[in-house]
Amino acid sequence: MVDTQSTAHPLSVACLATGARLAVAGGAACALLSLFFDAPVWVASLRGAAVWFALRWLARLTAKSAVATLDPAPDDPPQASVK
């Protein structure tokens, strides 16, 4: 894999990387747990894929909301102080 310079916010990069690892672990754990409870392999695979997709979506949503709350939008004018 090639290392590239990221222009994204460091918090976003860290949140997405952690979310990707947690999504893989969560999907695999869900599939394995389904197999322990005698679900067919195709059902366990679908459940694992659904959990993986949901956790990836949640990680992306968390990263976007965290960056949105930290950095003000560049198009917004500065707030005037009221005296």
Per-residue pLDDT of 41-69, as tens digits, reads 999 999 999 999 999 999 999 988 888 88
Instruction: Let me know: does 47 contact 30? Beta carbons within 8 Å.
Output: yes
Residue 1 has pLDDT above 60, yes or no: no
- Please give the model's pTM, rounded to 2 decimal places: 0.73
Closest CA to 26 of 2, 1, 3, 49: 49
Dihedral, 35, 37, 39, 41 alpha carbons, nearest 10: 10
More confident residue, 26 or 11: 26
CA distances 54 to 32, 68, 73, 77, Å, are: 17, 21, 28, 36
Indicate the pLDDT class of residue 40, thresholds 50, 70 and 90. Answer: very high
Closest CA to 45 of 55, 34, 53, 37: 34
**Residues ≥6 apart with Cβ < 8 Å to 13:** 6
